Structure 1
Amino acid sequence: MKNFIMTLISTLIAFSCAVNVSQKDIPYTSAKKYFVKNISDQKDLTEKIITSQEEFDQIFGPATTMGRSGKPTPIDFSKENVLALIYPKTNLEVEIIPVSLQQKGQNIVYSYKVIKGGQRSFMTIPNTIVIIQKLDSKKIIFQKVQK
């Protein structure tokens, strides 16, 4: 009986000392109607944190179409930042999908997955842009999730 009580107490102590990292979902908006300017010859998926309109305009251009829903998603860089994922130029069908954006301790973790499909008859630069509120000195970690 004494051994049972000692085992129980040591188990409780071990579990109470475990580090509990809190997780909190962070809201984001997917930006639509932008294209990657044909200015880079990148070879790998690029992960970018964009904090100014000037930096954004160097990489992306508006892909405006007619009609009310044809305008690009507005971004206010005084209050918002952009997390961008840019795939190299390819003739494959590629979809970059945001999975989650969470605060884990002092870090922000942006999880995403890349799905590759069949060949196309044209080249594109697949990308995904999400808009987040400016965060107080949190480190943003990009995490590719395997299917």
Structure 2
Amino acid sequence: MNKTKTTALILGALFFAFHLNAQKKEFKNDSEKRKLQHLPDPIPFKVAHGYFINYSVKGKITESKVETQAQFDKIFSSAAVMGEDGLPTKIDFTKQYVIAVVKPDTQKETNLIPLSLQDNRDGKIIFTYGVKLGKIHSYISSPLLLIIVDKDHNGNIVINEKFVR
């Protein structure tokens, strides 16, 4: 009788330990864990500096994804400035594309801040940026935000805007 209880106790403990171990899933990486939890994957990007929108296309931009140098050159021009980091950011359209956010001309100080870029694994790349408004100036500016993304991360672009303080 004592031997039966001990055997049952050991078998019960082994079953319990096996059950707990089966529930505890080890993930190879964060991406695997995010997929199982149905969370979007973050995508690395770089902000491009030193460009402005061509006056001939202002208000006519319908596509936020720019995939070729020719397409980019029709919409944007470079503007080198003095000092360190004065040259426009280099973009290699053989390996990268650009997501562009262009806001209407304004006299208000307008900062466009990249917040996140994510792959929702449904063929959509979701870019979220923030808008921070400031003082009114005596001049007009054209708020512009360009981010550079590797072509490894491709899909239809969805842009979300958030106002930030």
TM bracket, shorter-chain basis: 0.7 to 0.9
Q: Percent identity?
A: 33
Q: Unpaired runs of 5+ in structure 1?
A: 1-18
Which residue pairs with 2:88 in the alignment?
A: 72
2:118 is the counterpart of 1:102: yes
2:145 is the counterpart of 1:132: no
2:48 is the counterpart of 1:34: no
Deviation at 1:22, TM superposition (A): 3.0
Deviation at 1:30, TM superposition (A): 0.3
What amino acid does structure 1 have at the position aligned with 2:59? Q
- Structure 2-normalised TM-score? 0.69
Instruction: Please give the root-mean-square deviation of Cα atoms over the aligned residues, in Å.
Output: 2.2
Distance in 2, matches of 1:28 and 1:137, equals: 12
Report the 3-state secondary structure (helix = DSSP H, G, I; strand = E; otherwise coil) of the residue aligned with 2:64. Answer: strand
2:132 is the counterpart of 1:115: yes
Number of residue pairs aligned between Structure 1 and Structure 2: 128
Give deviations 1:39-93, integer Å, cap 9, x for gaps: 24529x9661000111111111111123452110000000000001011111111
Report the 3-state secondary structure (helix = DSSP H, G, I; strand = E; otherwise coil) of the residue aligned with 1:69. Answer: coil
Which residue pairs with 2:75 in the alignment?
A: 59
Distance in 2, matches of 1:58 and 1:92, equals: 26
Relative to structure 1, is the Cα distance of residues 37 and 61 closer, same or farther in structure 2, using a 3 angstrom cutoff?
same
Q: Unpaired runs of 5+ in structure 2?
A: 1-35
Distance in 1, matches of 2:153 and 2:145, equals: 23
The structure richer in strand per residue is 1
What amino acid does structure 2 have at the position aligned with 1:100? S
Moved over 3 A (4+): none
Q: Which protein has the larger Cα radius of gyration, Structure 1 or Structure 2?
A: 2
